[in-house]
Amino acid sequence: MSTTTESDLLVRVRKLLDKAEGTLNAHEADAFSRKAAELIAEHRIDPERLAAVDASDDLRVREIELGRGAYVRARLALLQAIADAHDVRVVFQSRPHGTVAMAAGFRSDLDVVEVMYTSLHQQAASQMAGEKRQTGAATQRFRRSFLFGFADRIGEVLGESRQRAEQLADDQPGGGVGRAERALATRDREQRIDDYSATAFGRVRTARAPSAAQTGGWGAGAAAASGADVGRARLPGRKALARSTRR
């Protein structure tokens, strides 16, 4: 993907997400966010991208607001699942105005992680809004568990997509010849990210584990994430977010 094409794609995705955030119509918001996710899933990566890093694709840290309240750790789990699949390292910090995630990685990966997180979080929130229980507290527990389950399944889906992209590269004519070179380039790239994030983040303290999620909510969220299905064939009768094996 050329720099110009990538830039145009990101502009288009951000416009879709702005439209999704700006409309009061839930169906329109869902349509805009799903189209954004489709573009990301379809154009995220070609197998050749595993072999090299664009010299202009610099390492940096980006802050992503997670807000405050009962769903912060679940939002972080979703961001982490997406970041892990895109070679981005994440830590978080509590500030007076709310929790902020610091994401470190290559600029192109950070762009994808940010827009994909926004899109998938909106898809999850749209479905969570329809989940109600007998009391406000019970509803909150269910929705929180829903988002944790959604995040966990999204991580699995993206991991599967990445494995398929790598396998596709190996299956191409002559792909086996370049397997060792791709693996070496990938390890070198990951080491650069690790070294950079260690310096950028400094001393990092391990946070307390979040409280346990409710089984019913978790299962509902995981099922919803399978319905969102980034990078895989959709269920019969529903349009796929991606039309290829690329993630």
> For residue 228, what pLDDT is reported?
74
More confident residue, 9 or 162: 162
Average pLDDT over residues 105-110: 88
> For residue 74, what pLDDT is reported?
96
The phi-psi region of residue 173 (left if phi > 0; otherwise alpha if psi is between -120 and 50; otherwise beta) is beta
Average pLDDT over residues 154-182: 73
Q: With the C-alpha atoms ordered 11, 17, 18, 23, is the resulting torsion angle positive or negative?
A: positive
Task: Determine which of 10-14, 54-58, 171-175, 231-235 has the lowest per-residue pLDDT on average.
Answer: 231-235
Partners of residue 100 on adjacent β-strands: 65, 93
